[in-house]
Amino acid sequence: MGEGVLKRYARYLPLTPDTPALSIGEGETPLVRSRHLAGELGIDELYFKLEGCNPTASFKDRGMVVAVAKAMERGYGTIMCASTGNTSASAAAYGAAAGLETVVLVPQGNVAEGKLSQAVAYGARVINLRGNFDDALRVARELAEARSVCLVNSVNPDRIEGQKTAAFEIVDVLGDAPDLLFIPVGNAGNITAYWKGFREYHDGGNAARLPRMMGFQAEGAAPIVAGKPVEHPQTIASAIRIGNPANWEGALTARDESEGDIGTVSDAEILDAYKLMARREGIFCEAASAAGVAGLIKHVRAGNGLAGRTVVCVITGHGLKDPGLARELADHPPEEAPADVEAVARLLGEAVPGTSGGGHRS
Ligand code: F0G
């Protein structure tokens, strides 16, 4: 346990004897069985892959550990990325652990508070770009090309290599690939990586089947579904507010080879799934992560029954990344009371048996 992705899956990764053994404990995330949604949707086996349990609370750590270890091996002193927040948090953490400088370019005003705090805490240089993610990626790519800086976005193939290990873990736990995998799609690195992982395990005889890859974009940021870039992508799920995904081709390959689909979900559907995950499953995830769950709900409600199927939803990041969103959506905002038993009992009323009416019991 806790040995990290490089060590655990060394034989599937582009490592050499000179690759440093970097890890801050990424991987081996829980695959948790649904307690509520499975029954509601009539699915026999529904699991959530909790990628928010990685060291920086998103799936990005799996790819970042490989990209940063390779950057060290190649002698880079600085790593750089564009990000909607999670990639920057992860790059900053692994950059710190590796003793490298980290520069992150983020769309000003559109990154969740927790993610920015992480990048700053890990000591990265954070540049708020007056533009969106697609602008930031364009600038980062050009800068990295012109200087001896290692770009650690998912256009860097080492990122994809590391991220595919999540697919390995799912197969290692279930004994085979699921029938369907539901996953949010932004820059499309993750769906590309999962498909690569499932393919490699299948080709190597570790899995008998291949899943159908079911990717979901937010309605206002759905270039792959539209078949053309979206100039001004919009969605409440800021992590996937991307109009021109770098791994577009990889997503199409995953969709087509797996006989899957890439669809859209509205912000309202995303928020419903976000609330349901926390309130019924006890899983506090990011809005972007809820896009995959929203996609599953939409798919089943459209008449595609999944009885007898094994289904996995990838929960890409932790809800604590964006505490403000949770507070905004609260059904029960925090209440206030004096430090007095009677007063709190009165406030609780019927909510706590034995406290209704505020009677004194000794
Ligand atoms: N979920 C979360 C929580 C994300 O942060 C991202 C992407 C995705 C899903 C989509 O994954 O891009 O591989 O299709 N976040 C990137 C970032 C863009 O900069 O943190 P993808």
Q: What is the pLDDT of residue 358?
A: 44
Q: pTM, whole model, 2 decimals?
A: 0.96
CA dihedral 317, 323, 326, 328 (to 10 degrees): -140
State if residue 105 touches ligand 1 by the CB under 6 angstroms criterion. Answer: no
Q: What is the pLDDT of residue 346?
A: 93
Q: Which of 175, 212, 174 is nearest to 195 (CA)?
A: 212
E strand or H helix that includes residue 46? strand 45-50
State if residue 240 touches ligand 1 by the CB under 6 angstroms criterion. Answer: yes
State if residue 54 touches ligand 1 by the CB under 6 angstroms criterion. Answer: no
Q: What is the pLDDT of residue 355?
A: 60
Q: What is the pLDDT of residue 146?
A: 86
Q: What is the pLDDT of residue 353?
A: 75
- Residue 313 contacts by C-beta under 8 Å, 6 or more apart in sequence? 46, 47, 48, 49, 181, 182, 183, 292, 293, 296
Q: What is the pLDDT of residue 1?
A: 66
Q: What is the pLDDT of residue 361?
A: 46
E strand or H helix that includes residue 32? strand 31-33
| Pocket mutation for ligand 1, best pick of 86, 154, 247, 322 (most atoms within 8 Å of C-beta) | 86
Q: Using the atom order of ligand 1, give the atom closest to the CA of residue 115.
A: 20
DSSP annotation of 288: H
Supply the residue whose CA is at minimum distance from atom 4 of ligand 1.
239
State if residue 238 touches ligand 1 by the CB under 6 angstroms criterion. Answer: no
Q: Using the atom order of ligand 1, give the atom closest to the CA of residue 288.
A: 1
The residue type at 254: A
Q: What is the pLDDT of residue 123?
A: 98
Q: What is the pLDDT of residue 235?
A: 98
State if residue 215 touches ligand 1 by the CB under 6 angstroms criterion. Answer: no
State if residue 189 touches ligand 1 by the CB under 6 angstroms criterion. Answer: yes
Task: Strands of 78-211 (E only): list them.
Answer: 78-82, 101-107, 125-129, 150-151, 180-184
Whether the CA torsion 155, 161, 164, 169 is positive or negative: it is negative
State if residue 184 touches ligand 1 by the CB under 6 angstroms criterion. Answer: yes
Supply the residue whose CA is at minimum distance from atom 3 of ligand 1.
317
Instruction: Provide the residue-wise pLDDT of the chain in tens; the chain has 362 residues.
Output: 679 999 999 999 999 999 999 999 999 999 999 999 999 999 999 999 999 999 999 999 999 999 999 999 999 999 999 999 999 999 999 999 999 999 999 999 999 999 999 999 999 999 999 999 999 999 999 999 888 899 999 999 999 999 999 999 999 999 999 999 999 999 999 999 999 999 999 999 999 999 999 999 999 999 999 999 999 999 999 999 999 999 999 999 999 999 999 999 999 999 999 999 999 999 999 999 999 999 999 999 999 999 999 999 999 999 999 999 999 999 888 999 999 999 999 999 877 777 654 444 44
Q: Using the atom order of ligand 1, give the atom closest to the CA of residue 215.
A: 14
- Using the structure block, give the residue that is written with the tokens 């700053």: 120
CA of 60 from ligand 1 middle (Å) equals 8
